[in-house]
Amino acid sequence: MDKTKAHCNTCGGDRNHGIAHCEKASWSDDEYGVHGDDTYEMLKCLGCETITLRHTSWVSAEDDVRISYFPQSIFRPKPKWLDALWLELSPTDLFVYELLGEIYVALHNDLKSLAAMGVRSLIEKVMISKTGDKGTFAKNLAEFENLGFVSTKQKERIEAILDAGHATIHRDFKPALSDVITLVDMAEHIVETVYLHESKITALKKRVPPRQLKT
């Protein structure tokens, strides 16, 4: 079996794969004077043995070769606590799980602006869920801090997130991939802090034996 380097979602990043099967098709368009080819490869990771389909396409009118995977290539895994989040959310807070899912879909499909706008929407909805709608982002965020959900430093970071999302929508800001990753990192941290840390601390307290009073 021939070998190739390819992305593996399970292992994370490029890994050695065996090429189980390959089909190639060429085409041409005489009217526009272009031609190209499509290569479809059934790949098997030589580490975890996950099966993936890789499509490589080339067009004479373009400089770059396009490569796509099915299932789609995921360069950033979802957080390990995502399944636990579903169990912790009340029915009125299920939007958190759903919006995070949409943000990951946008991120994995290189839809950076949609991901940035999704993060802004998620943080706004989380704040309103916990504080009630105070009428403005500034007032909602101030109350979010007053109730102890975030520190002063975290409040400043949320302000930057909200401004980046606003700029993407209203000021033609096009975030780079590194910008979006930063936004998603902060969004995940806020979600984990607001919805998961309390139950984890409660469980910890139950496991810790009480102090023995000295006699």
Reported as a single tens digit per residue, the pLDDT across 31-63 is: 888 999 999 999 999 999 999 999 999 998 887
Distances (CA, A) of 133 to 31, 84, 142: 59, 27, 12
Residues 60, 36 contacting (CB under 8 angstroms): yes
List C-alpha distances in Å: 10 to 3, 52, 66, 185. Answer: 18, 11, 22, 21
* Ramachandran bin of 33, using left for φ above 0, alpha for ψ from -120 to 50, beta for the remaining angles: left
* 3-class DSSP assignment, residue 80: coil
94-151 tens-digit pLDDT: 999 999 989 988 887 778 888 888 988 998 899 899 888 888 888 888 888 888 887 7
Segments making up each domain of the chain, as ranges: 3-70, 82-205
Would you state the pLDDT for residue 213?
Answer: 67
pTM: 0.66
Conformational region of residue 46, where left means phi above 0, alpha means psi within -120 to 50, and beta covers everything else: alpha
* pLDDT tens sequence across 151-181: 777 788 777 777 777 777 777 778 888 888 8
The upper half-sphere exposure of residue 182, i.e. CA atoms within 13 Å in the direction of its Cβ, equals: 12
Kindly provide the b/e burial profile for residues 186-214, where b requires at least 16 CB atoms within 10 angstroms of the residue's own CB.
bbbebbbebbbeeeeeeeeeeeeeeeeee
